[in-house]
Amino acid sequence: MLSVISKSPQETSYIGERMAKYLSPGDFISLTGDLGAGKTLFAQGIARGLGIEDHITSPTFTIIHEYNEGRLPLYHMDVYRVNGVQDMENLGYEEYFYGQGVSLVEWANLISEIIPPEHLRLDFKVVPEGREITFYPQGRYYERLVEELTGHAYSGN
């Protein structure tokens, strides 16, 4: 686990932008946190870091926004309104989760039974100083990704 404090919306977006340069095809990032905690700002940063110039908004009502013009495709999902695994199967989730792009899934905790066992979970929390973003890598690949992002060895604490 690694926690960082973002003191502004711009900083939250920048953290995502910085992370994007380490992402590879098939990466899965779960974003959890209260409404307004910074998940979509982080997604905007990921998109910018991948070279996507479209305006990024939360896909709350459409469930998925797909962006193909960057270094890697970005599949930005918001599963808050999904009614379980059957809805995800109807969307063809496996093509996204195990495809050639980056899956960035807000509220992925609501579909925990189908997310890849190895993934990166980010929890966003509103704190007096701004936003606390906690990274929980699931699997060695994501531990290494966090190490690269932070520039030092991941301790697993």
Q: What pLDDT sits at residue 157? A: 43
Q: How confident is the model at residue 60 (pLDDT cuts 50, 70, 90)?
A: confident
CB 84 within 8 A of CB 114: no
Q: What pLDDT sits at residue 58? A: 85
Q: How confident is the model at residue 156 (pLDDT cuts 50, 70, 90)?
A: very low
Assign 3-state DSSP to the chain and report helix, strand, coil percentages, each to 5.
35, 25, 40
126-144 CB burial, b ≥16 within 10 A, e <16: eeeeebbbebbbbeeebbe
Report which of 30, 42, 46 is spatially closest to residue 132, judged by C-alpha positions. 42
pLDDT tens, position by position, 103-154? 999 999 999 999 999 999 999 999 999 999 999 999 999 999 999 888 754 4
Count how many residues are written for the chain.
Answer: 157
CB 120 within 8 A of CB 135: yes
Q: What domains does the chain contain, in order, with CATH numbers? A: 2-150 (3.40.50.300)
Rounded percentage of the chain residues whose pLDDT exceeds 90: 77
Average pLDDT over residues 59-64: 87
